[in-house]
Amino acid sequence: MEKATFGAGCFWGVEHFFREVPGVSDAVSGYAGGHVENPTYRQVCTDTTGHAEVVEVTFDPAKVGYERLVDLFFKMHDPTQLNRQGPDFGTQYRSVIFTHSPEQKRIAQERKDALNAAHAFPRPVVTSVEDARPFWPAEDYHQRFLEKNNRPSCHVTYRELEGQ
Ligand code: MHO
């Protein structure tokens, strides 16, 4: 099993998305990239912790490649929005890939560069590719939040994207 960590706005929808991808065995909402240990959601919402809302994905590389996860990440949110995603503003909503190996770093950077080279979006991709930092799981009530609360996602869902 391998890990991948993505920030693409409110983690509720990001977690929900990756949970549905075949080959993904777990997706946990949490915080990473900041300087506060064991942060709470309330602290992160003050926009002073440096943390982003992220999802730590556990996947079986024999079933789904890291490239595929990165490509899905770039399709399931708008990576041209700086420090915001849809209705949510602030650095906690930044678009970021935390890489867990030199290979992940190379792949993530290559995919980002390829999108920019192809002018895949009307504006440049602003996703930052950073070495993985400590991941702090979010409070229990944030895990599987959409399912528990029967709320629609702010993000496209995997089924919608893949037409299933
Ligand atoms: N706009 C969202 C943000 C939640 S997310 C966990 C809300 O309904 O509060 O940042």
- What is the spatial distance between Cα 142 and Cα 152, in angstroms, rounded to a whole number? 14
Per-residue pLDDT, 86:
93
Question: What whole-number distance in Å separates Cα of residue 18 and Cα of residue 5?
Answer: 11
**Residues whose beta carbon lies within 6 Å of some atom of ligand 1:** 10-12, 53, 87-88
Phi, psi of 129 (to 5 degrees): -105, 115
C-alpha atoms less than 13 angstroms from C-alpha of 120 in its C-beta half-sphere:
15
In our burial notation (b when 16+ CB lie closer than 10 A, e otherwise), range 155-164 reads bebbeeeeee
Amino acid 105 reads K
Supply the residue whose CA is at minimum distance from atom 4 of ligand 1.
Answer: 10
Tell me the three-class secondary structure of 109-122, residue by residue: HHHHHHHHHCCCCC
Residue 138 alpha carbon, nearest atom of ligand 1: 6
From the list 10, 24, 115, 132, the catalytic residue is 10
Among protein residues, the one whose CA lies closest to atom 3 of ligand 1: 10
- Tokens 């770039």, residue located: 74
Distance 100 CA to ligand 1 centre (A): 27
How far apart, in whole angstroms, are the C-alpha atoms of residue 32 and residue 51? Answer: 5
Q: Which atom of ligand 1 is nearest to the CA of 12?
A: 6
154 is catalytic: no
Distance 71 CA to ligand 1 centre (A): 24
Residue nearest to atom 10 of ligand 1 (CA): 10
Q: What phi and psi values does residue 118 have, to the nearest 5 degrees?
A: -85, 0
Rounded to the nearest angstrom, the distance between the alpha carbon of 102 and the centre of ligand 1 is: 32
129 alpha carbon – ligand 1 mean position (Å) = 23
pLDDT tens digits, residue range 9-39? 999 999 999 999 999 999 999 999 999 999 9
Q: What is the pLDDT of residues 70-129, one digit of tens each?
A: 999 999 999 999 999 999 999 999 999 999 999 999 999 999 999 999 999 999 999 999
Q: Is 36 within 8 Å of 92 (Cβ atoms)?
A: no
Q: Name the token pair of 100.
A: 């867990």
The answer on pLDDT for 164 being more than 90 is no
